[in-house]
Structure 1
């Protein structure tokens, strides 16, 4: 009975993580089509990542309102795979992530995970540990900024 319950929960999880992408599946390009642009590691900046965020202005103090909204978004879109501790769930835990990574890298990754996984050696190594590729949750730029502020709050920024 436990095995059946676990299989059922995993099926729901997989469906939930992939359902946001179903309406855009016809617009996706296949890896063979853009292999030239994803295989050039020399153009990849490991501090910035791959995406539209070049410079993210972050204050020394926490933006409490953004962090509160970020928590709501993260609970809906991220909590099924990530814990706020350093413990791995499906994906790695978030504790300390805002201290280890730049705001640009984090925001580029959560809005553009496929391109970054294809180019970033550390993400590729993480994929080997987690065995599940992070799905694109179709977050807006504002959502990404709010989630980043929530990560900062989790890491003790006041």
Structure 2
């Protein structure tokens, strides 16, 4: 009786350990495809119409917000303080990207490759300043004026 039990146990163990030669690729999840980076960033701003000539009231409004919320960490030159300097930002980035970074900071830092590269460079996460869309547009106008004068 012992021998029969050992035989059955051995056959069971061998049967359980047998490898299947079937290809089980149908159970694998497909690799998600990243959307192409259009340079506009992540957020609700999809299209920005620029003023020509620049709007002086918007520039003044943008400067006031910059002075209040941005100047502690960013300079208007190439100098990096905590964050990168803003000189030439409107030449390097699309207007939509700039406004999305201002208004949708957390999602940009999580999903946008350009924002992630800046985070790696500066090593400090930009805080969300809760800037309204019209204020972000004024800041953009201020940046455009800053880059025009350089």
TM-score scaled by structure 2? 0.74
| Alpha-carbon offset, residue 130 of structure 1 | 1.1
- Number of aligned positions between the proteins: 118
1:68 paired to 2:60: yes
Q: 2: CA distance between counterparts of 1:52 and 1:140? A: 12
Aligned to 2:140: 148
Partner of 2:45: 53
Deviation at 1:122, TM superposition (A): 2.5
CA distance in 1, matches of 2:146, 2:89: 9
Q: Which residue of 1 aligns with 2:12?
A: none
Give, in whole Å, the separation in 1 of the partners of 2:110 and 2:33: 9
Q: Deviations over 1:37-90 (max 9, x none)?
A: xxx771363411100111111023211110011000000000000000011010
Gapped regions of structure 2 (runs ≥ 5): 1-31
Please report the RMSD computed on the Cα atoms of aligned residues, expressed in angstroms.
1.6
Q: Which has more helix, going by share of residues?
A: 1
State the SS of the aligned residue for 1:155.
helix
User: Which residue pairs with 2:112 in the alignment?
Assistant: 120
Partner residue of 2:27? none
Q: TM-score, normalised by structure 1?
A: 0.70
Q: Which has the larger radius of gyration?
A: 2
Match runs of 1:8-157 below 5 Å: 42-43=34-35, 45-156=37-148
* In structure 2, distance between residues paired with 1:77 and 1:117: 18
